[in-house]
Amino acid sequence: MADIIKLLPDHVANQIAAGEVVQRPASVVKELLENAIDAESTVIKLVVKDGGKTLIQVVDNGVGMSETDARLSFERHATSKIASAQDLFNLHTKGFRGEALASIAAIAHVDLQTRTESQELGTHIKIEGSKIVTQEVTASSKGTSLSVKNLFFNIPARRNFLKSNQVELRHITDEFHRVALAHPNIEFHFYNNGSEIFNLPKTKYRQRIAHIFGSRMENRLVPVNEETEVVKISGFICKPEFAKKSRGEQFFFANHRFIKSPYLHHAVIAAFEGLIKSDLYPGYFLYLEVDPSSIDINIHPTKTEVKFDDENTLYAILRSTIKHGLGQFNVAPALDFEHDPNLDTPYAYKERGAVLPKVSVDPSFNPFQEGAKGGGSNGNHSGFQKTSNKSWEELYEGLDTEIGVETFSSVSIESDGGGQESIILDDQASTHGVTTFQLKRKFVVSAVKSGMLVIHQARAHQRILFEKFLGEITVKEGVSQQLLFPLELTFSKQELGILKEIKQSLTSIGFAFENLEEETVKVTGVPLMVPESGIGTVLDHLIADYKEGFENDSSSQAEILAKALSKNLAVRTGDLLDKESQLALVNNLFACKEPNLSPFQKLTYTIISEGDINKKFI
């Protein structure tokens, strides 16, 4: 039998490795930024075009490379970070595998310019699909400039799987945030399609967070610090009242490297137990410093999944540190046994001012005059006149019609054409003959010919609003309510980018904005359904839901936006609905094109047949 095992050519092996290292343009950004940091750079510039599909360029002022190093850097497993296997247990650099540049060069057009401080001229190398096209001497500044063009040009199947430019840019921005937050001592610049998105000067951790996520974030942060023999913990957590419904600003850094750790994340959630609802997520920026020999980062090519030697101890220290931080800064409630609650002002009177007593005097009053409405010294003039009790029944006239207590005295039983008996509640029947009532503030129940109709009020309202908003976005006929006083809201640059992306759709349903180019946005108009007091909350949830939906859903922008709006504006379980609202919910639901399911593909109603009800009484 002939031999069937063969060695793969280098370009094929590089493409296979690229499938692990380079999943999307954001993966290239991560590798190039980390290489620039390992090169001891103090200023790093990132330039992106078309979501990274056309161009990704990273320029740094690091140590640079010689001619030989520049050529060897694109070979597989060629690295300056480690020399032996023992070095894997004492890593202080970002990269160490020597696969990144080789994998990138296998699936893109790469242009490298580099020069060391001791050289007068630099090196210029062009590579296309692992093949070196040109290598020449050139005049360049100290450091390295590496451009990656036409990503996946020789793997069209992989390129077709990429999302839209906006989604890919969002992933790139996330990677940029992770690197920039870990290194506040480095100056970063981020450009997209010729416009500057971020300009981050050298600063401290707190200011770096505020520069990235907006100035309003600085007031939400609570510092945490703890130093033990196992780990040194520093960073910030967000106050419980600013917890969000989506996983937003949650960052773990171990030895200045962004990591993902569900186990440590659970420690943070446990520390917030009792302070936030179970469906909310707190924000945190936590920096862990551990002994390099006690952490294994050589698990996955992306190096975000790590393994700690003693995770249980780390879990307990992290949880107690966050609890201590919450209590130290009076964020968590505390018991004060020396406090006298009797001296507290009642809640109902806290905002009420002092009221001066009013005295009214009748100057014509004579207590000695016979028949006066006053009191004398004898029993006939006690100072008070008894109110007449005549016609006291008048106090109770019409009271039976004013009290909103529903009685069942008016129940009548009639027979329909089929000979069956149906119950009609006269005092609850509408002009259309439809009877409804609310069950447990969760379901709306109504009688139908085949039995009993039970509607899930939250899901039904989501379906109604979804089709309403989807129609308004499509035909652009939304009604806007102009605000008498424009509302100013502050957003981060990433949130501003999402607002710009969906501005046209939001305008179609009634929103109106000003100054979308600045951090503070003026809201001048809102849809009729959005209360003025909840504009900020609705927009925050809308941005978070839209971001999450666009990454996990293949639907159009209009559908994702309509889903997000219907989710945030629909009635919820626990809301009390009056009779008119119940009837409107039933009628509007069955006027929808798809009344059976909510926008999130969950059942909106069910019908319990008369036969099923009869079986309960057998």
355 has pLDDT over 80: no
333 has pLDDT over 90: no
The model's confidence at residue 372, banded by pLDDT at 50, 70 and 90, is low
Please state, as a whole number, how many other Cβ atoms lie within 10 Å of the Cβ of residue 76.
17
The model's confidence at residue 422, banded by pLDDT at 50, 70 and 90, is very low
**Comparison of pLDDT for 62 and 404, the residue scoring more:** 62
pLDDT in tens, 238-277: 998 888 877 778 999 998 889 988 899 999 999 998 888 8
Q: What is the DSSP letter of 17?
A: H
| Torsions phi, psi for 525 (to 5 deg) | -155, 150
**Mean pLDDT, range 157-184, rounded to an integer:** 90
CATH T-level assignment (fold) for domain 205-328: Ribosomal Protein S5; domain 2 (3.30.230)
Which of 27, 366, 351, 55 lies closest to 172 in space, CA to CA?
A: 27
Which pLDDT score is estimated for 46?
96
Q: Homologous superfamily of 10-200 in CATH?
A: Histidine kinase-like ATPase, C-terminal domain (3.30.565.10)
pLDDT in tens, 177-225: 999 999 999 999 999 998 899 999 999 999 999 999 888 888 889 999 9
Q: What whole-number distance in Å separates Cα of residue 403 and Cα of residue 24?
A: 66
Residue span(s) of the chain under CATH 3.30.230.10 come to: 205-328
Give the full edge-to-edge strand order of the sheet including 258-259.
Answer: 221-227, 232-238, 284-289, 250-254, 258-259
Question: Does CATH number 3.40.50.1000 belong to domain 419-618?
Answer: no
pLDDT in tens, 396-418: 555 554 444 443 433 333 334 44
**Comparison of pLDDT for 581 and 348, the residue scoring more:** 581
- Residue 56 and residue 32 in contact, taking contact as beta carbons nearer than 8 Å: yes
> In whole angstroms, how far apart are CA 568 and each of 462, 470, 505, 556, 580?
9, 15, 16, 19, 22
**Mean pLDDT, range 319-330, rounded to an integer:** 87
The model's confidence at residue 618, banded by pLDDT at 50, 70 and 90, is confident
Which pLDDT score is estimated for 207?
93
Residues in CB range of 469: below 8 A, 6 or more apart: 509, 561, 562, 565, 566
Which pLDDT score is estimated for 391?
55
Q: What whole-number distance in Å separates Cα of residue 469 and Cα of residue 260?
A: 37
Q: What whole-number distance in Å separates Cα of residue 425 and Cα of residue 409?
A: 9
Give the angle subtended at the CA of 16 by the CAs of 14 and 17, to the nearest 5°: 65
The model's confidence at residue 425, banded by pLDDT at 50, 70 and 90, is very low
**Comparison of pLDDT for 383 and 552, the residue scoring more:** 552
The model's confidence at residue 547, banded by pLDDT at 50, 70 and 90, is confident
Percent of residues, the chain, with pLDDT higher than 70: 79
Residue span(s) of the chain under CATH 3.30.1370.100 come to: 419-618
Which pLDDT score is estimated for 533?
77
477 has pLDDT over 90: no
Average pLDDT, the chain: 81
Question: Residue 250 belongs to what H/E stretch?
Answer: strand 250-254
**Taking the C-alpha atoms of 39, 40, 41 and 47 in order, what is their torsion angle to the nearest 10 degrees?**
30
Which pLDDT score is estimated for 414?
38
- Residue 565 and residue 539 in contact, taking contact as beta carbons nearer than 8 Å: no
The model's confidence at residue 503, banded by pLDDT at 50, 70 and 90, is confident
Which pLDDT score is estimated for 203?
93
Which pLDDT score is estimated for 33?
94
- Residue 147 and residue 56 in contact, taking contact as beta carbons nearer than 8 Å: yes
Percent of residues, the chain, with pLDDT higher than 90: 31
Residue span(s) of the chain under CATH 3.30.565.10 come to: 10-200
Q: How far is CA 205 from the centre of its chain?
A: 22
**Comparison of pLDDT for 31 and 537, the residue scoring more:** 31
The model's confidence at residue 346, banded by pLDDT at 50, 70 and 90, is low
Which pLDDT score is estimated for 419?
40
> In whole angstroms, how far apart are CA 335 and each of 178, 226, 241, 347?
38, 24, 20, 18
The burial of 77, by beta-carbon neighbours within 10 Å (0-12 exposed, 13-18 middle, 19 or more buried), is given as: exposed
- The structure tokens listed for 419 are 């000979």
498 has pLDDT over 50: yes
583 has pLDDT over 50: yes
- Highest mean pLDDT among 9-13, 96-100, 418-422, 453-457 belongs to 453-457
Pairing of strands 258-259, 250-254: antiparallel
pLDDT in tens, 103-148: 899 889 999 999 999 999 999 999 998 888 999 999 999 999 999 9
- Highest mean pLDDT among 330-334, 373-377, 582-586 belongs to 582-586
Which pLDDT score is estimated for 200?
94
